[in-house]
Amino acid sequence: MSRNWLTDFKYEDGAWLVKKTGHRVPANRQLANDIFTWLTFYTLAQSWRTWRRLTGHKRPTIAFHPDKPRPWYFIWPVMHASGAKLISDVSKADIVFQFDDTTHADHRVPQTKPGARLVNFGCNDISKSNVAEAFAVAAGYSLKVDPRTHDGPMVEKSEKNACHDGRIIEGPMEPIEDKTYQCLVDNEIEGGLVEDLRCCIVGGEPTLVFRKRRPIGRRFLNENAEVIIDEPRKCYTADELDVIRRFSAEIGLEWGGVDVLRDRSSGRIFIVDANKTDMGPPVALNLGDKLKATRRMARAFVTSFAPKRSA
């Protein structure tokens, strides 16, 4: 894998532009701190990769199409913790991932060897509108609202992945092109914080939850004040876990993360976002739990995608 990761970014007007997605990351002290924190985890994750090489561990081979993940994507440390060996030749890999962090993708399945495990090739649309439609099918109630008729507060977001540009506005109003409109979910908890229940999906199954908390005034930003690792069965009811499974099947998500909010007044959950190339573990999670989360995901990875192998 190429080490020239900086080619993915372009610096302009005081921010780093992610070339493929168009997402802008402010170049400030917080970014520098996040990079340092991530590098600590990266260094330890590298030890898994080195150990596998030294011990000659028998492992499944894995290839990505059309792109390869950079080390800040969650699949990267999980891949190495599980013992999977990254190769470039898709036609020879035991496991083939569709890896493309754009909102819409339309990739034909490349030539693969007989019996290869294909992952996420059915997940080609993670726009906010498609997420809302899939959630309505899975849950039987809606997240989406019509801004022309909705009377009261609602959330306006970009359709694109990873923009973090949500804002609360009042309806009714005329919709803006390339924006989507959702009901305002009251996910406030004690201490003036809001909580997102990021559910990690492996093989279509809820596997791990990150309780991501931030000040209510920064509810739409990816800047967590606290992150706690948890188990799906402790965060959701059995029926809610089935909703998450049905949602994942509806959008073809076999690996990735879904953002789940629990409404304080109704108690209902709402899936507001899906990401098939999620980054992680979250920067605000302590180092010990980062490693624990990665190992847990690695075990699920082997069980789901390479059941004849041992982690």
Q: Which domains does the chain have, with CATH numbers?
A: 5-121 (no CATH), 128-289 (3.30.470.20)
Task: Write the pLDDT tens digit of every residue in 192-209.
Answer: 999 999 999 999 999 999
Interior CA angle at 269 toward 268 and 275, to 5°? Answer: 170
Return the pLDDT at 1. Answer: 40
> Could you give the strand order of the β-sheet that contains 24-26, starting from the edge strand earlier in sequence?
9-12, 15-18, 24-26
- Look over the chain and give the mean of its residue pLDDT values, rounded to a whole number: 87
Q: What is the pTM of this model?
A: 0.85
Task: Write the pLDDT tens digit of every residue in 61-111.
Answer: 999 999 999 888 999 999 988 889 899 999 999 999 999 988 988 778 999
Task: Write the pLDDT tens digit of every residue in 110-134.
Answer: 999 999 999 999 999 999 999 999 9
Q: What is the largest CA-CA distance in the chain?
A: 63
pLDDT surpassing 70 at residue 308: no
Mean pLDDT of 261-288: 93
pLDDT surpassing 90 at residue 186: yes
Would residue 192 be called left, alpha or beta, if left means φ above 0 and alpha means ψ between -120 and 50 degrees?
A: left
pLDDT surpassing 70 at residue 8: no
